Structure 1
């Protein structure tokens, strides 16, 4: 993983800021050889007990990512901690704007191209779950393309968790739009199953260009109507225009996590197997650079 790491220097030029959040920002840099990279800068805005606690919390993301090696997972080059321990920088490859920004204002996107993106996302999640890591914040804003606009990358592992088999996750994290219903109602839940729910929300958005509901809770009328339709086995439960097999088999948005499919079940679905997607070797046939850049 380190063979393609650039040589960093204090003379590297800061080009601009890619994004800002509550806890920090992401800046774009360029080496003297015109190699671009991103730096995620954390500065404490919360009341941590100590700089040691701050370092542990922030480097949680780096420590998880440093163990991973998959074409659909963002890499981390290195990290720096300031002398006083109050600022931490994570160095990573530069990519595209996040997927929500790329998709929301584009009309007439072809479904097969969008399914390529979604299947790439599924490959990344399958890898994570195979090494017993759940992301817990899968959303369009945490998916980017690489600099060549071929492979998608899952980013932001701040709330990711390493889980032993049959170990439950604790705490409501992530974004409300994408969160599974059990994360609102249960103190402990299956983090991998919650990732599957988020995959379903993303698939719904890519196909329909809108989110199905604001929050998967009973006080959300859209979600309540959906759950009622499921209980009544109504035809309104058809969420995706992917064919009859997909409708029957894809329990991605099954409110009961015990009935929800796992990422490993996808390999047995013919409709999923037939989705063409880009990987390190093959292309789906679409030029994502031309579509999205």
Structure 2
């Protein structure tokens, strides 16, 4: 049995995965732009993740751009039968590394084909439509047109499951009225809990929620509380933040990213953590909403 099995599994689209996966974003250069500082270390980290039991990798062709998908293919192709590769579309990178929307029908179709080609796949297991809006406060707006494009690609056999990312609760509900949604990937952590009601709503229907930025946006006071709790438990702040997410709701799937094998091992070790009730109470008290 893999150590990751102690954290349990959850449904992700039409598959079941372990609740701790791996985010590939940090395999590229700073700000997910350009090549990695150490290509061999990046390849080694991917292989170590699979060897440790990871069966869910989150990536996108706009990381790099193209870098993480090329690394994943070089390190892991042909892929293990149980590996679920999840990618995102809806953005493109400027020559200066900027993040720009790319949600027209042609751009979305092109992005799906780019992901297929660089990953060496005939079908993408799960594609998240990523709204390129402010990550702290996404703006409202209909998602019908881009999801219709992705649904058509699903009917063509190029996509198996569709998710949505950086979306408001209203956009998630609209998406669910239009098509079957496999997961929601939004910003959520100890200090930013605006999606509490949405997570519970999704959990009631067996839909995965995948939080990003588990340590982003903390105030100095919140960071001090987290550091104190981590020191008392003999853990790192990241481990405590991940463990809190894992215990917070059964439909939360983690995708911590790193280019370091040492940090990878620390992240995966969270599968065996059980935060004591007093620590959870203290952590629950540092939310800002």
TM-score normalised to structure 2 length: 0.26
Question: Which of the pair has more CA radius of gyration?
Answer: 1
TM-score normalised to structure 1 length: 0.26
Larger relative helix fraction: 2
